[in-house]
Amino acid sequence: MKRILSALLIFGLLCPVCRAAEAPAVSAASVVLMDGDSGRVLYEKDSHTQRLIASTTKLMTALVAVESTPDLELCIKMKPEYQAEGSSMYLKLGEELTLRELLYGLLLASGNDAALAIAGGCAGDIDTFVAWMNQRAQGLGMKDTHFENPNGLDGDTHYSTAYDMALLARAVLENEILCEIVSTKSITVAGRNLTNHNKLLWRYDGCIGMKTGYTDAAGRTLVSCAQRDGQTLICVTLKDPNDWDDHQALFDYGFETWSNYQLAREKKVVRTLPVTGSLLSQVDIVMGNDVWYPLTQQEQVKALYTLPVCVTAPLTQGQLAGRLTFCLGDEVIGECYLFFGADIPDNTSNPSLFGRVSDFLMGREANCGLSRLLSVR
């Protein structure tokens, strides 16, 4: 049976100081403020209610397009069925544009015609592309979302939630091509001067883009993203008449209230373990990766690490030694593998009888499991 040892330690040096801020009052029907790296919801209001999402739909259109069609220089010809009402890139029948050019028209000018051209050009027909959109939504965990078209025009079976759209925004952030496009303020493509509809790119320091939307029925919809001091926040508002101000207030609240705490640092020594079978008597145990998580000043994270009490040579640097798990209450918020920090050869001389008895009595020959609880804050 493995021996279990528990103890409390403090990692105070890993934690910066932040001050709490009061949550702002917002005018949106549905809101979510999410940490982009961890996915933690920092603020929400009616975030799981299904609503019309207008042109923020085009984030999924763009994501499916670049994932299904890596060749951004693919030429797509404008057809009559790609014409659409509402916002437009003003594509002409017979005109050919690359997928890259159409993506700029989709995400900056919010072209409904560009959305249809992308769908048809990538999938062969629009219905197939919309089916891909719904499949991708399921894969992202967007449980309360269904798409009817690639441009966001109102439909009885076209809806999402603030929370689901934040999940979509996280996926967009992972795509370098889309990150570059949504952060572009203005550009000239295919003879057209395009200006991004997202005014937060000019109004809020640190905004890196995303997508606006509007229809009479949906109202104003907005997905935005901002970065500060290495932390990324995502904000989604649906049916919000004051979205520009609300997003700025929510970003300020998020950055002021939740600092991005470093719970683990790659190659940082966690502890040392005794070694048998070698002239080297101990080995460092190091963290295998960084772990960051947004926390208020009042929250306390506990970390449970599992390691053997002692190890036997030979050991190889980088060899798996154990695992470190971070918990906030009963919720696991991060994990980190632990590795041996050095090579340990099995070059010991034959121990004396006294030495073997001494090792046995001290439990050094027993490869017992060790779990230890650490209070991070």
Instruction: Give the integer Cα–Cα distance in Å for 13 and 223.
Output: 35
**Cα dist. 31→47, 93, 146, 360 in Å?**
6, 40, 19, 61
Q: How, if at all, do strands 311-312 and 269-276 pair? A: parallel
C-alpha torsion sign, points 149, 155, 158, 163: positive
Closest CA to 238 of 214, 255, 254, 204: 214
Give the catalytic positions in this structure.
55, 58, 110
DSSP E strand boundaries for 184-278: 186-189, 192-195, 207-215, 219-228, 231-238, 259-264, 269-276
Type of residue numbered 155: G
At a CB cut-off of 8 Å and minimum separation 6, what does 188 contact? 194
**Quick one: tokens of 28?**
């949106």
- First-to-last C-alpha distance (Å) of the chain: 31
